[in-house]
Amino acid sequence: MNNLNSFRKDIRSWLAENCPHAMRTPMLEKDICRGGRNPVFQSEEQQIWLKRMSEKGWTAPTWPVEYGGAGFSKDQAKILREELSLINARPPISGMGISMIGPAILEFGSEKLKQQHLPAMAKGEVRWCQGYSEPNSGSDLAGLQTKAENFGDHLIVNGQKVWTSYGDDADWMFCLVRTNSDVGKHSGISLVLFDMETPGVSTKPIKLISGTSVFCETYLDNVRVDIEQVVGDIDAGWTVAKYLLTHEREMLGKLGTAPTEKSVKEHALDCLGVCNDRLTDEVMRKELIDWEIDYLCHQLTMERVNAEIASNGVGNTSAMLKYYGTELNKRKHELLVSIHGSDSMHWENNPISRQWLRSKGNSIEGGTSEIQLNIISKRILGLG
Protein backbone atom coordinates (compact mmCIF):
# COMPACT_ATOMS: atom_id res chain seq x y z
CA MET A 1 0.00 0.00 0.00
CA ASN A 2 2.84 2.37 0.95
CA ASN A 3 4.43 1.58 -2.38
CA LEU A 4 1.23 2.48 -4.19
CA ASN A 5 0.96 5.72 -2.21
CA SER A 6 4.43 6.83 -3.19
CA PHE A 7 3.76 5.61 -6.74
CA ARG A 8 0.69 7.91 -6.82
CA LYS A 9 2.77 10.81 -5.51
CA ASP A 10 5.36 10.32 -8.25
CA ILE A 11 2.70 10.10 -10.95
CA ARG A 12 0.97 13.22 -9.64
CA SER A 13 4.10 15.31 -9.56
CA TRP A 14 5.21 14.13 -13.04
CA LEU A 15 1.80 15.01 -14.48
CA ALA A 16 1.79 18.41 -12.75
CA GLU A 17 5.08 19.20 -14.47
CA ASN A 18 4.53 17.53 -17.83
CA CYS A 19 0.88 17.74 -18.83
CA PRO A 20 0.53 20.99 -20.82
CA HIS A 21 -2.34 23.17 -19.55
CA ALA A 22 -3.98 23.18 -22.98
CA MET A 23 -4.26 19.38 -22.65
CA ARG A 24 -6.34 19.68 -19.46
CA THR A 25 -9.46 21.07 -21.09
CA PRO A 26 -12.46 19.07 -22.40
CA MET A 27 -12.15 18.31 -26.07
CA LEU A 28 -14.37 18.12 -29.12
CA GLU A 29 -14.18 15.33 -31.69
CA LYS A 30 -11.86 17.49 -33.85
CA ASP A 31 -9.34 17.69 -30.98
CA ILE A 32 -8.85 13.92 -30.76
CA CYS A 33 -5.26 12.95 -31.44
CA ARG A 34 -5.24 9.97 -33.82
CA GLY A 35 -1.53 9.85 -34.73
CA GLY A 36 -0.37 7.88 -37.76
CA ARG A 37 2.35 8.15 -40.39
CA ASN A 38 1.20 11.61 -41.35
CA PRO A 39 -0.17 12.87 -38.04
CA VAL A 40 -2.24 16.03 -37.81
CA PHE A 41 -1.68 17.81 -34.49
CA GLN A 42 -4.13 20.57 -33.50
CA SER A 43 -1.43 22.30 -31.45
CA GLU A 44 2.19 22.04 -30.38
CA GLU A 45 1.00 21.04 -26.88
CA GLN A 46 -0.86 18.06 -28.31
CA GLN A 47 2.32 16.82 -29.99
CA ILE A 48 4.40 17.40 -26.83
CA TRP A 49 1.81 15.58 -24.70
CA LEU A 50 1.85 12.49 -26.94
CA LYS A 51 5.66 12.47 -27.02
CA ARG A 52 6.04 12.80 -23.26
CA MET A 53 3.42 10.18 -22.43
CA SER A 54 4.68 7.65 -24.96
CA GLU A 55 8.29 8.09 -23.83
CA LYS A 56 7.16 7.01 -20.35
CA GLY A 57 5.16 4.09 -21.85
CA TRP A 58 2.02 5.62 -20.33
CA THR A 59 -0.03 5.54 -23.53
CA ALA A 60 -0.26 1.75 -23.02
CA PRO A 61 0.61 1.50 -19.32
CA THR A 62 -0.03 -2.25 -18.79
CA TRP A 63 1.91 -3.37 -21.86
CA PRO A 64 5.41 -4.72 -21.21
CA VAL A 65 8.21 -2.15 -21.49
CA GLU A 66 9.80 -3.99 -24.45
CA TYR A 67 6.59 -3.40 -26.46
CA GLY A 68 6.33 0.32 -25.70
CA GLY A 69 4.32 0.09 -22.48
CA ALA A 70 5.23 0.86 -18.88
CA GLY A 71 4.80 -2.66 -17.46
CA PHE A 72 2.33 -1.36 -14.86
CA SER A 73 0.22 -3.67 -12.75
CA LYS A 74 -3.59 -3.26 -12.96
CA ASP A 75 -3.47 -1.29 -9.67
CA GLN A 76 -0.75 1.03 -10.95
CA ALA A 77 -2.64 1.58 -14.23
CA LYS A 78 -5.76 2.43 -12.24
CA ILE A 79 -3.81 5.05 -10.29
CA LEU A 80 -2.53 6.56 -13.51
CA ARG A 81 -6.11 6.68 -14.91
CA GLU A 82 -7.34 8.33 -11.70
CA GLU A 83 -4.58 10.92 -11.67
CA LEU A 84 -5.12 11.76 -15.34
CA SER A 85 -8.83 12.15 -14.75
CA LEU A 86 -8.22 14.34 -11.68
CA ILE A 87 -6.51 16.97 -13.85
CA ASN A 88 -8.96 16.42 -16.77
CA ALA A 89 -6.06 15.35 -18.95
CA ARG A 90 -6.95 14.55 -22.54
CA PRO A 91 -6.05 11.11 -23.89
CA PRO A 92 -2.66 11.62 -25.61
CA ILE A 93 -3.70 9.23 -28.42
CA SER A 94 -6.95 7.54 -29.44
CA GLY A 95 -7.80 4.98 -32.04
CA MET A 96 -8.15 1.33 -32.86
CA GLY A 97 -4.47 0.52 -32.29
CA ILE A 98 -3.95 0.66 -28.54
CA SER A 99 -7.57 -0.06 -27.67
CA MET A 100 -8.45 -2.86 -30.11
CA ILE A 101 -5.82 -4.66 -32.20
CA GLY A 102 -3.01 -4.01 -29.66
CA PRO A 103 -4.56 -6.17 -26.92
CA ALA A 104 -5.33 -8.91 -29.50
CA ILE A 105 -1.71 -8.98 -30.73
CA LEU A 106 -0.49 -9.08 -27.12
CA GLU A 107 -2.74 -12.05 -26.40
CA PHE A 108 -2.50 -14.05 -29.65
CA GLY A 109 0.28 -12.57 -31.82
CA SER A 110 3.74 -14.03 -32.49
CA GLU A 111 6.81 -12.42 -30.95
CA LYS A 112 7.64 -10.95 -34.36
CA LEU A 113 4.21 -9.28 -34.64
CA LYS A 114 4.50 -7.89 -31.12
CA GLN A 115 7.88 -6.34 -31.85
CA GLN A 116 6.82 -5.01 -35.25
CA HIS A 117 3.50 -3.43 -34.28
CA LEU A 118 3.15 -2.70 -30.57
CA PRO A 119 5.92 -0.12 -29.92
CA ALA A 120 4.83 1.94 -32.98
CA MET A 121 1.21 1.73 -31.78
CA ALA A 122 2.14 2.94 -28.31
CA LYS A 123 3.95 5.94 -29.85
CA GLY A 124 0.90 6.71 -32.03
CA GLU A 125 2.98 6.30 -35.19
CA VAL A 126 0.56 4.02 -37.04
CA ARG A 127 -3.14 4.55 -37.49
CA TRP A 128 -5.29 1.41 -37.73
CA CYS A 129 -8.69 0.58 -39.20
CA GLN A 130 -11.00 -2.37 -38.78
CA GLY A 131 -12.02 -4.61 -41.70
CA TYR A 132 -14.78 -6.72 -40.17
CA SER A 133 -18.15 -5.81 -41.79
CA GLU A 134 -19.04 -6.73 -45.35
CA PRO A 135 -22.03 -5.79 -47.51
CA ASN A 136 -23.76 -9.05 -46.51
CA SER A 137 -22.31 -9.68 -43.09
CA GLY A 138 -22.62 -7.25 -40.22
CA SER A 139 -24.47 -8.81 -37.29
CA ASP A 140 -23.83 -12.18 -38.90
CA LEU A 141 -20.11 -11.45 -38.89
CA ALA A 142 -19.08 -15.10 -39.17
CA GLY A 143 -20.83 -15.23 -42.56
CA LEU A 144 -18.05 -13.08 -44.08
CA GLN A 145 -16.97 -13.92 -47.63
CA THR A 146 -13.70 -12.04 -48.20
CA LYS A 147 -11.52 -14.87 -49.35
CA ALA A 148 -7.83 -15.50 -48.64
CA GLU A 149 -6.05 -18.21 -50.61
CA ASN A 150 -3.08 -19.75 -48.86
CA PHE A 151 0.16 -19.98 -50.89
CA GLY A 152 2.36 -21.15 -48.01
CA ASP A 153 4.42 -18.05 -47.30
CA HIS A 154 1.64 -15.62 -48.21
CA LEU A 155 -2.12 -15.22 -48.66
CA ILE A 156 -3.91 -13.59 -51.58
CA VAL A 157 -6.98 -11.70 -50.39
CA ASN A 158 -10.03 -10.79 -52.51
CA GLY A 159 -13.29 -9.25 -51.35
CA GLN A 160 -15.00 -6.14 -50.06
CA LYS A 161 -15.34 -4.58 -46.63
CA VAL A 162 -17.78 -1.83 -45.71
CA TRP A 163 -18.28 0.78 -42.97
CA THR A 164 -14.50 0.92 -42.53
CA SER A 165 -14.15 3.90 -40.17
CA TYR A 166 -11.27 6.18 -41.23
CA GLY A 167 -10.27 3.60 -43.87
CA ASP A 168 -8.94 6.35 -46.14
CA ASP A 169 -6.76 7.87 -43.39
CA ALA A 170 -5.51 4.62 -41.86
CA ASP A 171 -2.03 3.17 -42.37
CA TRP A 172 -2.81 -0.48 -41.55
CA MET A 173 -5.92 -2.64 -41.41
CA PHE A 174 -6.78 -5.60 -39.18
CA CYS A 175 -9.05 -7.68 -41.32
CA LEU A 176 -11.14 -10.85 -41.05
CA VAL A 177 -10.83 -13.18 -44.04
CA ARG A 178 -12.12 -16.64 -44.92
CA THR A 179 -9.21 -19.05 -45.23
CA ASN A 180 -11.29 -22.24 -45.31
CA SER A 181 -14.75 -22.65 -46.84
CA ASP A 182 -15.02 -26.41 -46.19
CA VAL A 183 -15.62 -26.13 -42.44
CA GLY A 184 -18.34 -24.51 -40.27
CA LYS A 185 -18.54 -20.74 -40.79
CA HIS A 186 -16.89 -19.90 -37.45
CA SER A 187 -13.98 -22.27 -38.05
CA GLY A 188 -12.49 -21.11 -41.35
CA ILE A 189 -11.74 -17.47 -40.48
CA SER A 190 -8.33 -15.81 -39.96
CA LEU A 191 -7.39 -12.35 -38.72
CA VAL A 192 -4.72 -10.73 -40.89
CA LEU A 193 -2.84 -7.41 -40.84
CA PHE A 194 -1.78 -5.45 -43.88
CA ASP A 195 -0.51 -2.03 -44.87
CA MET A 196 -3.21 0.05 -46.59
CA GLU A 197 -0.60 0.98 -49.23
CA THR A 198 -0.31 -2.66 -50.36
CA PRO A 199 -1.17 -2.92 -54.09
CA GLY A 200 -4.82 -3.96 -54.55
CA VAL A 201 -6.19 -2.08 -51.50
CA SER A 202 -8.50 0.83 -52.34
CA THR A 203 -11.07 2.83 -50.39
CA LYS A 204 -14.13 4.87 -51.30
CA PRO A 205 -15.62 7.25 -48.71
CA ILE A 206 -19.34 6.96 -47.82
CA LYS A 207 -21.09 10.27 -47.14
CA LEU A 208 -23.04 10.37 -43.86
CA ILE A 209 -26.16 12.21 -42.72
CA SER A 210 -24.00 14.27 -40.31
CA GLY A 211 -22.20 15.75 -43.32
CA THR A 212 -18.80 14.24 -42.60
CA SER A 213 -17.42 11.14 -44.18
CA VAL A 214 -15.60 8.89 -41.75
CA PHE A 215 -16.66 5.61 -43.38
CA CYS A 216 -15.32 3.84 -46.40
CA GLU A 217 -15.99 0.92 -48.61
CA THR A 218 -12.71 -0.98 -48.85
CA TYR A 219 -11.93 -3.09 -51.90
CA LEU A 220 -9.36 -5.88 -51.73
CA ASP A 221 -8.18 -7.04 -55.12
CA ASN A 222 -5.46 -9.72 -55.10
CA VAL A 223 -3.86 -8.25 -51.99
CA ARG A 224 -0.71 -10.12 -50.97
CA VAL A 225 -0.40 -10.62 -47.20
CA ASP A 226 2.70 -12.17 -45.66
CA ILE A 227 1.74 -15.33 -43.74
CA GLU A 228 3.54 -13.88 -40.71
CA GLN A 229 0.86 -11.18 -40.53
CA VAL A 230 -1.79 -13.69 -39.41
CA VAL A 231 -2.67 -13.04 -35.75
CA GLY A 232 -3.00 -16.38 -33.94
CA ASP A 233 -3.40 -19.60 -35.91
CA ILE A 234 -4.69 -19.77 -39.44
CA ASP A 235 -8.44 -20.68 -39.45
CA ALA A 236 -8.64 -19.80 -35.74
CA GLY A 237 -9.35 -16.08 -36.22
CA TRP A 238 -12.87 -16.18 -34.78
CA THR A 239 -11.47 -16.49 -31.25
CA VAL A 240 -9.16 -13.52 -31.87
CA ALA A 241 -12.01 -11.54 -33.47
CA LYS A 242 -14.30 -12.08 -30.47
CA TYR A 243 -11.56 -11.14 -28.01
CA LEU A 244 -10.94 -7.93 -29.95
CA LEU A 245 -14.69 -7.15 -29.98
CA THR A 246 -14.85 -7.33 -26.18
CA HIS A 247 -12.25 -4.55 -26.08
CA GLU A 248 -14.12 -2.51 -28.71
CA ARG A 249 -17.39 -2.88 -26.80
CA GLU A 250 -15.80 -1.97 -23.51
CA MET A 251 -14.38 1.19 -25.14
CA LEU A 252 -17.76 2.11 -26.69
CA GLY A 253 -19.49 1.50 -23.35
CA LYS A 254 -17.53 4.42 -21.91
CA LEU A 255 -19.21 6.81 -24.36
CA GLY A 256 -22.15 7.42 -22.05
CA THR A 257 -19.86 8.68 -19.30
CA ALA A 258 -17.28 10.60 -21.36
CA PRO A 259 -16.68 14.08 -19.89
CA THR A 260 -17.83 17.01 -22.03
CA GLU A 261 -17.07 20.71 -21.98
CA LYS A 262 -20.42 21.49 -20.37
CA SER A 263 -22.68 19.07 -18.50
CA VAL A 264 -26.26 18.43 -19.64
CA LYS A 265 -27.45 20.16 -16.47
CA GLU A 266 -25.38 23.26 -17.27
CA HIS A 267 -26.89 23.35 -20.76
CA ALA A 268 -30.38 23.16 -19.21
CA LEU A 269 -29.69 25.88 -16.62
CA ASP A 270 -28.29 28.19 -19.31
CA CYS A 271 -31.08 27.69 -21.84
CA LEU A 272 -34.29 27.00 -19.92
CA GLY A 273 -36.32 28.96 -17.40
CA VAL A 274 -35.09 28.66 -13.78
CA CYS A 275 -36.90 29.60 -10.57
CA ASN A 276 -35.25 29.14 -7.15
CA ASP A 277 -32.47 27.11 -8.78
CA ARG A 278 -35.00 24.67 -10.29
CA LEU A 279 -35.97 24.23 -13.91
CA THR A 280 -39.50 25.52 -14.32
CA ASP A 281 -40.30 23.03 -17.10
CA GLU A 282 -41.45 19.96 -15.15
CA VAL A 283 -41.12 17.54 -18.04
CA MET A 284 -37.53 18.57 -18.77
CA ARG A 285 -36.75 18.50 -15.05
CA LYS A 286 -37.92 14.90 -14.80
CA GLU A 287 -36.11 13.81 -17.97
CA LEU A 288 -32.89 15.44 -16.80
CA ILE A 289 -33.09 13.87 -13.33
CA ASP A 290 -33.86 10.41 -14.83
CA TRP A 291 -30.88 10.74 -17.14
CA GLU A 292 -28.53 11.93 -14.35
CA ILE A 293 -29.51 9.01 -12.10
CA ASP A 294 -28.95 6.50 -14.93
CA TYR A 295 -25.65 8.21 -15.79
CA LEU A 296 -24.46 7.87 -12.19
CA CYS A 297 -25.55 4.22 -12.03
CA HIS A 298 -23.69 3.48 -15.26
CA GLN A 299 -20.54 5.13 -13.89
CA LEU A 300 -20.76 2.98 -10.74
CA THR A 301 -21.40 -0.16 -12.80
CA MET A 302 -18.35 0.65 -14.93
CA GLU A 303 -16.22 0.96 -11.81
CA ARG A 304 -17.50 -2.40 -10.53
CA VAL A 305 -16.93 -4.07 -13.89
CA ASN A 306 -13.45 -2.54 -14.16
CA ALA A 307 -12.60 -4.03 -10.77
CA GLU A 308 -13.88 -7.43 -11.99
CA ILE A 309 -11.94 -7.09 -15.25
CA ALA A 310 -8.80 -6.34 -13.22
CA SER A 311 -9.08 -9.76 -11.60
CA ASN A 312 -10.79 -11.89 -14.32
CA GLY A 313 -10.04 -10.16 -17.65
CA VAL A 314 -12.54 -8.67 -20.11
CA GLY A 315 -15.55 -10.92 -20.69
CA ASN A 316 -19.20 -10.85 -21.71
CA THR A 317 -19.85 -7.88 -19.42
CA SER A 318 -18.49 -5.75 -22.28
CA ALA A 319 -21.83 -6.44 -24.08
CA MET A 320 -23.68 -5.02 -21.08
CA LEU A 321 -21.53 -1.88 -20.91
CA LYS A 322 -21.71 -1.40 -24.67
CA TYR A 323 -25.49 -1.71 -24.71
CA TYR A 324 -26.17 0.61 -21.80
CA GLY A 325 -23.38 3.15 -22.41
CA THR A 326 -24.33 3.73 -26.04
CA GLU A 327 -28.09 3.93 -25.35
CA LEU A 328 -27.29 6.41 -22.56
CA ASN A 329 -25.20 8.50 -24.92
CA LYS A 330 -28.05 8.61 -27.44
CA ARG A 331 -30.44 9.74 -24.69
CA LYS A 332 -27.99 12.45 -23.68
CA HIS A 333 -27.93 13.89 -27.20
CA GLU A 334 -31.74 13.68 -27.48
CA LEU A 335 -31.91 15.65 -24.23
CA LEU A 336 -29.48 18.29 -25.49
CA VAL A 337 -31.55 18.75 -28.65
CA SER A 338 -34.72 19.14 -26.52
CA ILE A 339 -32.98 21.66 -24.27
CA HIS A 340 -31.77 23.79 -27.18
CA GLY A 341 -35.08 23.45 -29.07
CA SER A 342 -35.15 24.99 -32.53
CA ASP A 343 -31.65 26.48 -31.95
CA SER A 344 -30.23 22.96 -32.17
CA MET A 345 -31.64 22.47 -35.64
CA HIS A 346 -29.35 24.79 -37.55
CA TRP A 347 -26.49 23.02 -39.16
CA GLU A 348 -23.35 25.07 -39.74
CA ASN A 349 -20.77 24.83 -36.95
CA ASN A 350 -23.37 23.42 -34.60
CA PRO A 351 -21.94 20.55 -32.54
CA ILE A 352 -25.34 19.86 -30.89
CA SER A 353 -27.08 18.73 -34.09
CA ARG A 354 -23.99 17.01 -35.52
CA GLN A 355 -23.23 15.05 -32.34
CA TRP A 356 -26.92 14.11 -32.04
CA LEU A 357 -26.82 12.59 -35.52
CA ARG A 358 -23.46 10.92 -34.88
CA SER A 359 -24.77 9.33 -31.68
CA LYS A 360 -27.36 7.39 -33.71
CA GLY A 361 -24.53 5.16 -34.93
CA ASN A 362 -23.40 4.27 -31.39
CA SER A 363 -25.95 1.51 -30.97
CA ILE A 364 -24.96 0.00 -34.35
CA GLU A 365 -21.12 0.17 -34.40
CA GLY A 366 -19.27 -2.64 -32.64
CA GLY A 367 -22.42 -4.81 -32.82
CA THR A 368 -26.00 -3.52 -32.62
CA SER A 369 -27.98 -3.13 -29.39
CA GLU A 370 -30.14 -6.12 -30.39
CA ILE A 371 -27.03 -8.28 -30.75
CA GLN A 372 -25.73 -7.12 -27.34
CA LEU A 373 -29.12 -8.03 -25.82
CA ASN A 374 -28.84 -11.50 -27.43
CA ILE A 375 -25.37 -11.94 -25.88
CA ILE A 376 -26.56 -10.70 -22.47
CA SER A 377 -29.55 -13.05 -22.50
CA LYS A 378 -27.53 -16.09 -23.54
CA ARG A 379 -24.11 -15.65 -21.93
CA ILE A 380 -24.82 -13.52 -18.86
CA LEU A 381 -28.39 -14.48 -17.91
CA GLY A 382 -28.14 -18.03 -19.30
CA LEU A 383 -31.55 -17.82 -21.00
CA GLY A 384 -31.24 -20.71 -23.46
Ligand X SMILES: Cc1cc2nc3c(=O)[nH]c(=O)nc-3n(C[C@H](O)[C@H](O)[C@H](O)COP(=O)(O)OP(=O)(O)OC[C@H]3O[C@@H](n4cnc5c(N)ncnc54)[C@H](O)[C@@H]3O)c2cc1C
d(CA 206, CA 162): 9
Please pick, among 248, 250, 287, 327, the residue that the annotation labels catalytic: 248
3-state secondary structure of 327: helix
> Minimum Å distance from CB 208 to ligand X?
8
**313 CB burial (10 A radius; 0-12, 13-18, 19+):** exposed
For ligand X, give the closer residue by CB, 84 or 216: 216
Give the C-alpha separation, 344 to 333, whole Å. 11
Smaller CB separation from ligand X, 234 or 357: 357
Angle at which helix 264-271 crosses helix 317-340, to 10 degrees, equals 10
The Cα-based distances of 127 to 42, 96, 117, 328 in angstroms read 17, 8, 11, 28
Q: Tell me the closest approach of the beta carbon of residue 196 to ligand X, in angstroms.
A: 13
Q: From the list 39, 64, 138, 205, which residue makes contact with ligand X (rule: CB under 6 A)?
A: 138
Instruction: Specify the residue, 58 or 323, whose C-beta has the smaller distance to ligand X.
Output: 323
Size of the site for ligand X (CB under 6 A): 18
Is residue 44 part of the annotated active site? The answer reads no
Contacts of 359 (CB under 8 A, 6+ apart): 329, 330, 332, 333
Contacts 24+ apart (CB under 8 A), 342-348: 343/271, 347/211
- Whose Cβ is closer to ligand X: residue 130's or residue 257's? 130
Residue nearest to ligand X (CB): 138
Within positions 143 to 172, which residues make up the interface with ligand X, using CB under 6 A? 163-165
Give the nearer residue to ligand X in terms of CB position, either 228 or 370: 370
* Binding characters for ligand X, 94-133, by CB under 6 A (x = yes): -----------------------------------xxxxx
How many other C-beta atoms can be found within 10 angstroms of the C-beta atom of residue 79? 19
Position 29 contacts ligand X (CB under 6 A): no
* DSSP secondary structure code for residue 382 in this structure: -
Q: Is 374 in the site for ligand X (CB under 6 A)?
A: yes
Of 370, 377, 378, 380, the residue at the interface with ligand X (CB under 6 A) is 370
Q: Quick check: 13 binds ligand X (CB under 6 A)?
A: no
Task: Give the separation between CA 202 and CA 310, rounded to whole angstroms.
Answer: 40
Residues designated catalytic:
248
Residues that bind ligand X (CB under 6 A): 129-133, 138-139, 163-165, 361, 364-365, 367-368, 370-371, 374
